[in-house]
Chain A
Amino acid sequence: MHIPDGYLGPATCGFFYGLMMLIWMAASKIVKKTLKAQQAPILAISAAFSFVIMMFNVPIPGGSTGHAVGGVLVAILLGPWAACIAVTVALVVQALLFGDGGITAIGANCFNMAVVMPFVGYYIYKAISHNAPFNSNRKVIAAGIAGYIGLNAAAILTGVEFGLQPWLHHTAGGQALYCPYGLNIAVPAMAGEHLLIFGWIEAVVTALVVKYLKKQAPEFFEEG
């Protein structure tokens, strides 16, 4: 889901950089207020955690493997604003140092994976697990549903961003200058694979990790 350079036109890249500037400023202020001084390194450690979640290969039926993104999981564990900063830092490191995701597309990638995915997932998790007794399985199920919907929301938005390119940037003769497929192709292509395969990987990983942590480290869920 990391958008490389060259897929999005200058207007889209500029728009998402501008939007993310405002979100990053708000996130810094909110996190600075809520994070205690001794928790200063947790953002960096969480960012590294977000980075390496993608290196855990998950077996799926048929002998293949896939990986989760982990944006919703980090949001459930840290809250959506801290998750926004942690996932942003992981995405910047990936784009700048490892060529995973484009430099001009950092704004769009951060909006999809560090804003939409954690916020959508977090509030779905909160809505479903609201008032759930600690030893009920509702939190685990809520985490799975939140992971599935959060990832798919981000994937569909990525499809919309791709699909808008031929409409936003084209020559006088109608030739596309960036991603060549319109909404009718880009959105189903992105949604299809995520709704059918990757969404389920995200759901299973998010639910199982919440299940393990609930058992081994219940302090992470005391306030929820």
Chain B
Amino acid sequence: MLKNHNFIERSIMGALSFFKESIFAEECASQKGFLQSLDPRIKAITFILFILQILFTKDIIVLLCIYAACLLLAKLSKIDLGFFLKRTWVFIPLFSLFIAVPAIFSIFTPGAALITWRVGGITIIITRQGLEAATLFVMRVITSVSFAVLLSITTKHFALLKVLRLFKIPQIFVMTLGMCYRYVYLFIEVIENTYLAIKSRVGIRMSPQRGRHIVASNIAGLWQRSYQLNKDVYKAMLSRGYSGEPLILDDFKTTLIDWLWLFAVLVVNATLLYLRYRTA
């Protein structure tokens, strides 16, 4: 949460990179690749099955195979692998790697010594159990993050939010999610414009105390604008036929490829489940 650079520059850059990433994700979702051609409902179910499989797996080799399958799916879906690896490794997995490193030493994970050093009278030991625990942890995180990112960049965001209805989530939540998604863009644009205005009128050099006041007044201003917007949005909803109960159009279609893909994923997951319980 702590970053260097000036807070005005940082906020403008944050808003710009949010828009850049969103546009890129929409471009990926519009490609004519394998995952993009699947029905979002079937795709979401199969990806959740993979993520659950990753959560339950205790074997590093199985995790490596699932990760390889994820990269193959990304390639088949015409996702640039360089971009995908950058997008999935930076920040969460690298952070996880950083916090997993101490766990390989005997001070945190006692066990059979793999490597021993003596530095200035202190013995440093890397244990087999520690190394395995840290590798399993990092592999689990990177594989899960990769599947989650692959799902979000190969599916149009609105379709992904509508898929939630499949899990019997009340329509009010689905409607709120869809509306929230739209307002996020509006508000981020407001933040970008506000900070650009501050930068052009008063510059970026100011004391941290003055800066905190500027941030707080902007958050307060955004809240007031949001609250006023509520009335206009409600009138717009009424004029479009809103009667208290939200209606969501369902335009999903399944094809033979969807059912074959679902069958294949079910077979793979059932096999992994069987192997896990047979070796347990």
Q: Is the CB of B180 within 8 A of A93?
A: yes
**Is B56 at the interface (CB under 8 A from chain A)?**
yes
Select B216's contact among A24, A38, A42, A212, beta carbons within 8 Å: A212
Interface size class of B (residues with CB under 8 A): 35 or more
**Is B20 at the interface (CB under 8 A from chain A)?**
no
Q: Which of B71-79, B228-236, B253-261, B267-275 contacts A (4 or more CB under 8 A)?
A: B228-236
Q: Which residues of A contact B103 (CB under 8 A)?
A: 176, 180-181
- The A-contacting residues of B in range 110-152, CB under 8 angstroms, are 111, 129-130, 132-134, 136-137, 140-141, 143-145, 148-149, 152
**Is B82 at the interface (CB under 8 A from chain A)?**
no
Q: Is the CB of B129 within 8 A of A205?
A: no
Q: Is the CB of B208 within 8 A of A213?
A: no
Q: Is the CB of A45 within 8 A of B183?
A: yes
Q: How many angstroms between the C-alpha atoms of A180 and B173 in the bound complex?
A: 35
Q: Is the CB of B220 within 8 A of A65?
A: no
Q: Which of A49-57, A122-130, A131-139 contacts B (4 or more CB under 8 A)?
A: A49-57
Q: Which residues of B contact A213 (CB under 8 A)?
A: 220, 223-224
Q: How many angstroms between the C-alpha atoms of A95 and B172 in the bound complex?
A: 19
Are A48 and B184 CB-contacts (below 8 A) given A13-B55, A41-B233, A66-B2?
A: yes
Are A175 and B111 CB-contacts (below 8 A) given A45-B229, A55-B15?
A: yes
Q: How many angstroms between the C-alpha atoms of A39 and B179 in the bound complex?
A: 13
Q: Is the CB of A96 within 8 A of B161?
A: yes
Chain A residue nearest in CB terms to B25 = A97
**Is B14 at the interface (CB under 8 A from chain A)?**
yes
Chain B residue nearest in CB terms to A45 = B226
Q: Which residues of A contact B237 (CB under 8 A)?
A: 40-41
Q: Is the CB of B219 within 8 A of A209?
A: yes
User: Contact string, B18-50, partner A, CB cutoff 8 A, digits 1/0?
Assistant: 100100000000000000000000000000100
Q: How many angstroms between the C-alpha atoms of A92 and B167 in the bound complex?
A: 14
Select B184's contact among A24, A51, A66, A204, beta carbons within 8 Å: A51
Q: Which residues of A contact B52 (CB under 8 A)?
A: 10, 104
Q: Is the CB of B55 within 8 A of A6?
A: yes
Q: Is the CB of B211 within 8 A of A185?
A: no
User: Contact string, B152-182, partner A, CB cutoff 8 A, digits 1/0?
Assistant: 1000010011000000001011011111111
Select B212's contact among A51, A96, A181, A208, beta carbons within 8 Å: A208
Q: Which residues of A contact B143 (CB under 8 A)?
A: 6
**Is B213 at the interface (CB under 8 A from chain A)?**
yes
Q: Which residues of A contact B212 (CB under 8 A)?
A: 58-59, 204-205, 208
Q: Is the CB of B145 within 8 A of A65?
A: no
Are A93 and B184 CB-contacts (below 8 A) given A61-B208, A65-B7, A213-B224?
A: yes
**Is A22 at the interface (CB under 8 A from chain B)?**
no
**Is B187 at the interface (CB under 8 A from chain A)?**
yes
Chain B residue nearest in CB terms to A51 = B184
Q: Which residues of A contact B186 (CB under 8 A)?
A: 48
**Is B276 at the interface (CB under 8 A from chain A)?**
no
**Is B199 at the interface (CB under 8 A from chain A)?**
no
**Is B66 at the interface (CB under 8 A from chain A)?**
no
Q: Which residues of B contact A7 (CB under 8 A)?
A: 96, 141
User: Contact string, A197-224, partner B, CB cutoff 8 A, digits 1/0?
Assistant: 1100100110011011100110010000
Nearest CB of A to B125, in Å: 15
Q: How many angstroms between the C-alpha atoms of A143 and B74 in the bound complex?
A: 47
Q: Is the CB of A103 within 8 A of B48?
A: yes
Q: Is the CB of B184 within 8 A of A28?
A: no
Q: Which residues of A contact B202 (CB under 8 A)?
A: none
Q: Which residues of A contact B213 (CB under 8 A)?
A: 208
User: Contact string, A167-199, partner B, CB cutoff 8 A, digits 1/0?
Assistant: 000010111111111000100000000000110
Q: Is the CB of A208 within 8 A of B233?
A: no
Q: Is the CB of B58 within 8 A of A97?
A: no
Nearest CB of A to B211, in Å: 4
**Is B196 at the interface (CB under 8 A from chain A)?**
no
**Is B188 at the interface (CB under 8 A from chain A)?**
yes
A-B CB contact pairs (8 Å), 14 listed: A45-B180, A47-B176, A48-B187, A49-B183, A52-B191, A53-B219, A59-B208, A95-B148, A96-B161, A103-B148, A175-B111, A176-B109, A176-B137, A217-B227
